[in-house]
Amino acid sequence: MLEWSDIILRLGVATLAGGLIGLNRDLRGKPIGLKTLGIVGLSTAAVVVVAVQFTEAGRITDATSRVIQGVLTGIGFLGAGVIVREREPFRVHGLTSAACAFLAACIGIVSGAGEWRIVATAVAIALVLLTLGRRTERFLHRKLGGSDDPDEHDPTVTPPRPPTSR
């Protein structure tokens, strides 16, 4: 049985880690933010903590595995909601935000299991990638002879629409 302090730590770290990833998305004006990804991290950590409560220390059981599988399947619906938009049916939007929702869920799972080194490493790498990814893409496109503007080939970036006639 986990102590209160351990439960609070696991749920708190999952919420904070998801929130940090969400803050990055929010600051970039994306359709998913701090609250949403904080809740994703918290909720996934909560179900894993429940599953871990009924297992032997250091052992993932079949029941815990099924909880994790269910969480990862369910998070796909949230990701699909971020990606699919009716206004522009032929454009794909929000893939990075959907991936961030999946990442927040995974970090919630790992936090629920109490694997702090994995949580810290995953959050650090994710924040570096989200912060430097666009600049790195542009640099590599220039150096490797691709388009100067990687957004030209990035389906998550919408070009301006021409005015419509009424």
- Cβ(41)–Cβ(15) under 8 Å? yes
CA atoms lying within 13 Å on the CB side of residue 147? 6
Interhelix angle 95-112/62-83, rounded to 10 degrees, is: 160
pLDDT, position 53: 73
pLDDT tens string 93-113: 777 888 888 888 889 888 888
Please say if the pLDDT value at position 88 is more than 70. Answer: no
Once rounded to an integer, what is the mean pLDDT over residues 36-57?
79
Beta-carbon-side half-sphere exposure of residue 88 (alpha carbons within 13 Å): 12
The pLDDT assigned to 54 comes to 67
pLDDT at 66 over 60: yes
**Average pLDDT value for residue range 64-91:** 72
- pLDDT higher than 70, residue 153: no
Confidence of residue 9 (pLDDT cuts 50, 70, 90): very high
Q: Domain limits of the chain?
A: 4-152
pLDDT tens string 123-141: 998 998 888 888 887 888 7
- pLDDT for position 166: 47
Residue with token string 């100067």: 148
Does residue 16 surpass a pLDDT of 90? Answer: yes
**Global pTM value:** 0.65
